[in-house]
Amino acid sequence: MYAVRTLRLVLAALLCLVCATGTQAATVTDLYDASVRSSDRSDASRQAAFSAALSIVATRVSGRRDAASKLGAAVGNAQRYVQRYGYNNGQLEVGFDSSGVNALLEQASLPIWGRERPTVLVVFPGALQGLREARAAVEQTAKLRGVPIVWATNEISEQFNNPSAAQLQALAERYTADGVLLARVSEPVTASNLHWQFAFNASNGEIQEMQGAAEEGPHLAADVLGRYYAVVGKEATHVVMEVAGIEDLQAYATTLNYLSNLSGVRVVNVESLQHDVVRFRVELRGDVETMKRAIEFDQRLLPQASATADAAATLAYRYNPQEASIK
């Protein structure tokens, strides 16, 4: 019991340090792409591969493991959403139209999780370092679910049972991760018998746990993060947003492009420009709070008090050129 209690305290401390040092979102560039095995190049095999690929993409984009089951007959008609495809070493590589897939998910009342996603630090104890199949399963599942991961080094993993505050601080600074996914071993030590713990920087120290195989760790992280960051909602919500610090054309274009590509945003219109403040009217799918979480996550826009007469009805931010320049 003492060891488990100590491990919880260590994980909580690590998470606090990650929060304190700041985080950086990772962009999942292949969010709407999937590669599946195809037995041959016949039309029947190709259609089956399209369906399998669409199921993968629907799960990745929605953050929901059961997404494919919610799409009904659309999975069997996956070709209509295909933008490009090609064969490579027995694999059919498929790229889907993002707008079409998003519309499909919306029709099925499924959420949409954008390309900017939290980075998760995976920590394996020393007993697991030699299990290559476990590491491969984690990496493959993380890619399938669209969870960017970084690995703690063998040296760090071996020190994790009794780290000092300085070591934890160095680890946070080194990896700049948004969440920690920790595997603990059970007897017998196998890739299918792990105890997973996951926490991320917006969870207020709450730790999610489960027992399962190596691939269950990334599934756990994706399920938790998807529930927090994915946007669901057919009804449109309108919000007024003012962004200060727009001092040149590049800042204006960067901000407009950023808002337009947030997963919860349908339409962005510019209402006015006064001095360095641009006023936008934004149409959302889902609620305002989800969009605010997404903006807070990557810090390209920093919240501030509104100076307008209708401050209570206006979201106010300041353009952050330091973050915008490295995205």
What kind and span of H or E run contains 282?
strand 277-285
Residues 49 and 103 both lie in one domain: yes
Residues 6 and 84 both lie in one domain: no
- Concatenating the DSSP letter of every residue in 53-84 gives HHHHHHHHHH--TTHHHHSGGGGGGGGGGEEE
Q: CB-based contacts of 8: which residues, under 8 Å, 6+ apart? A: 207
How far apart are alpha carbons 86 and 137 in whole angstroms? 25
Nearest by Cα to 315 from 306, 324, 325, 327: 306
Per the structure block, which two tokens stand in for 10? 């260590």
How far apart are alpha carbons 114 and 174 in whole angstroms? 25
pLDDT tens per residue across span 9-63: 444 444 443 444 444 568 899 999 999 999 899 999 999 999 999 999 999 999 9
User: Looking at this protein, which amino acid is placed at residue 157?
Assistant: S
3-state secondary structure of 205: coil
Provide the pLDDT for residue 19.
41
How far apart are alpha carbons 276 and 319 in whole angstroms? 10
Instruction: Give the residue from 76, 107, 138 where a domain finishes.
Output: 107
Residues 253 and 168 both lie in one domain: no
Residues 193 and 149 both lie in one domain: yes
3-state secondary structure of 303: strand
Residues 212 and 266 both lie in one domain: no
Residues 241 and 299 both lie in one domain: yes
What CATH number is given to the structural domain containing 258? 3.30.70.60
pLDDT at 156 over 70: no
Q: Kindly state the DSSP code that residue 85 receives in the 8-state scheme.
A: E
Residues 121 and 213 both lie in one domain: yes
**Domains held by the chain: number:** 3
Tell me the residue range of the domain where 64 lies: 33-107
Average pLDDT, the chain: 81
Is the Cβ–Cβ distance between 285 and 106 less than 8 Å? yes
pTM value is 0.73
How far apart are alpha carbons 156 and 171 in whole angstroms? 8
Say which residue, 11 or 270, is predicted with more confidence: 270
Instruction: Give the residue from 107, 138, 154 where a domain finishes.
Output: 107
Task: Kindly report which listed range (38-52, 215-229, 259-273) carries the lowest average pLDDT score.
Answer: 259-273
Residues 152 and 167 both lie in one domain: yes
Residues 154 and 276 both lie in one domain: no
Task: Kindly report which listed range (154-158, 217-221, 256-260, 261-265) carries the lowest average pLDDT score.
Answer: 154-158
Q: Kindly state the DSSP code that residue 153 receives in the 8-state scheme.
A: P
Name the pLDDT band for 196 (thresholds 50, 70, 90). Answer: confident
Q: How far is CA 163 from CA 152, 157, 169, in A?
A: 13, 10, 10
Provide the pLDDT for residue 35.
96
Name the pLDDT band for 152 (thresholds 50, 70, 90). Answer: confident
Instruction: Give the residue from 184, 201, 229 where a domain finishes.
Output: 229
Angle at 146 between CA 86 and CA 142, to 5 degrees: 100
Residues 77 and 175 both lie in one domain: no
User: For residue 209, which phi and psi values (nearest 5 degrees)?
Assistant: -135, 155
What CATH number is given to the structural domain containing 121? 3.40.50
**131-152 exposure pattern, b = at least 16 Cβ within 10 A, e = fewer:** beebbebbbebbbbbbbbbeeb
- Residue appearing with tokens 């519309």: 103
Residues 91 and 180 both lie in one domain: no
Residues 160 and 15 both lie in one domain: yes
Provide the pLDDT for residue 241.
92
User: Looking at this protein, which amino acid is placed at residue 39?
Assistant: S
